[in-house]
Amino acid sequence: MKIYVFGVRGDEEAPLKKWASENPDVSIDYTTDILTSETADNAKGFDGVCSVQREPYSREALKKLHDFGISKLSVRNVGTDGFDYKDLNDFSFTLTNVPVYSPNAIAEHASFLVGRLLRRVPEFDKKFENGNFKWAPTIGTEISGKTVGVIGTGHIGSVFARIMQFGYGAKVIAYDIDPNPALENLGIYVDSLDELLEQADIISLHTPLEPQDYHMIDADAISKMKQGSYIINCARGGLVDSQALIDGLDSGKIAGAGLDVLDNENGIFQKDFGSIDAVPNEKFKNLAKRDNVIITPHTAFYTKKAVHNMVYEAMDTQKALLSGEITKNIVDTKEFAKTV
Ligand code: COI
């Protein structure tokens, strides 16, 4: 059995080689390049493919794999919004993802963004760099006693809710079209998204990007929020309309934002521009230059534990698929994914 692995980063090489040594019946080859219509040629002669989302997958790349007789594709991440499901269905692909690799990685990161925003860390960092060690006027706000609204309560959202409630003593409220039975006893669910938007001081997003949720946080949603609320997005950039966020920050309706993902992150994250001014995106620059906005380049997932689990789980799943075993982690490509 032969598996070709695309987009292998330096930090993935060790777990991938370890997996290969533990699975001598599988022969693997890999590239640092992501799967594109050009690099797809590398997979000729292989039985299956393992990849990771960094940019949208092109129809041409999938067609090439199909023409090489490949129909099994395992991604090493949770989100599947990089695929057009029609392409996958047209070329009869079975797609698997890694629905759970380390919910704590993302939930902890989201909680740090909340803490760094409320204690005005970017402003203190700037003062510090200039040798200014005065407290005033950079006074902070405590999370304790604040109402934290969690949108999406799957694996990640539920860990985040617990951190906020039991770790920081916040009042947590949550909204989910499909409430998580494990959280029902906490009594945190509200009945509608509007209710959450109206009540929360801090709103954190933990949902996948389904087509109907594109720009879930737009100007209308922001108008329903409390004056001076905070937005945290460690889920998918497309959930928040960056222009509406900029307008909300300008008006003061939004007091700050912690963003690990952005609706225009493709072509920006994973690149080195040398300076913020060189980034070819005005909305990005506008957000990045604010003291009350913290941007991290889609790094919430990026821990040793998560990376190890992503590689192992995806490779195990691809091997099982190719062995004809009925495997977990199969993405329902008839409907948009409900995985986070
Ligand atoms: C995911 O798991 O979907 C992520 O957002 C992480 C990344 C490697 C794409």
pLDDT digits (tens, 9 = 90+) for 22-54: 999 999 999 999 999 999 999 999 999 999 988
Give CA 40 to chain center in angstroms.
Answer: 25
Considering the domain architecture, whether residues 89 and 115 belong to the same structural domain is answered as no
Q: Does the beta carbon of 124 sit less than 6 angstroms from any atom of ligand 1?
A: no
Which of 11-20, 63-72, 328-337 comes out lowest in average pLDDT?
A: 328-337
Q: Quickly list DSSP for 57-123.
A: PPHHHHHHHHHTT--EEEESSS--TTS-HHHHHHTT-EEE--S-S-HHHHHHHHHHHHHHHHTTHHH
Considering the domain architecture, whether residues 208 and 320 belong to the same structural domain is answered as no
Residues 6+ apart with CB under 8 A from 126: 291
Residues 108 and 13: their CA atoms lie apart, in Å, by 25
CA of 127 from ligand 1 middle (Å) equals 34
Considering the domain architecture, whether residues 277 and 315 belong to the same structural domain is answered as no
Q: In what order do the strands lie in the sheet with 72-75?
A: 27-30, 2-5, 48-51, 72-75, 94-96
Residue 9 annotated to the active site: no
Q: Does the beta carbon of 65 sit less than 6 angstroms from any atom of ligand 1?
A: no
Instruction: With a cut of 50, say whether residue 337 has pLDDT above it.
Output: no
Considering the domain architecture, whether residues 60 and 165 belong to the same structural domain is answered as no
Considering the domain architecture, whether residues 312 and 163 belong to the same structural domain is answered as no
CB-based contact 189:161 (threshold 8 Å): no
Residue 206 annotated to the active site: no
- Interior angle at CA 79, CA 243 and CA 299, nearest 5: 65
Considering the domain architecture, whether residues 118 and 267 belong to the same structural domain is answered as yes
Considering the domain architecture, whether residues 123 and 201 belong to the same structural domain is answered as yes
* Atom 8, ligand 1: residue with shortest CA distance: 77
Which residues span the domain enclosing 14?
Answer: 2-101+304-339
Residue in 120, 155, 206, 298 annotated catalytic: 298
Considering the domain architecture, whether residues 96 and 111 belong to the same structural domain is answered as no
Q: How confident is the model at residue 334 (pLDDT cuts 50, 70, 90)?
A: confident
Q: Does the beta carbon of 53 sit less than 6 angstroms from any atom of ligand 1?
A: yes
pLDDT tens across 201-228, in order?
999 999 999 999 999 999 999 999 999 9
Q: Does the beta carbon of 99 sit less than 6 angstroms from any atom of ligand 1?
A: no
Residue in 120, 265, 308, 313 annotated catalytic: 265
Q: How confident is the model at residue 338 (pLDDT cuts 50, 70, 90)?
A: very low
Q: How confident is the model at residue 151 (pLDDT cuts 50, 70, 90)?
A: very high
DSSP-assigned beta bridge partners for residue 2: 27
Count of domains observed in the chain = 2
Residue 298 annotated to the active site: yes
Q: Does the beta carbon of 307 sit less than 6 angstroms from any atom of ligand 1?
A: no
| CATH number (domain holding residue 197) | 3.40.50.720
Considering the domain architecture, whether residues 74 and 209 belong to the same structural domain is answered as no
Considering the domain architecture, whether residues 107 and 91 belong to the same structural domain is answered as no
CA of 52 from ligand 1 middle (Å) equals 8
Closest ligand 1 atom, CA of 236? 5
Considering the domain architecture, whether residues 327 and 183 belong to the same structural domain is answered as no
CA of 301 from ligand 1 middle (Å) equals 7
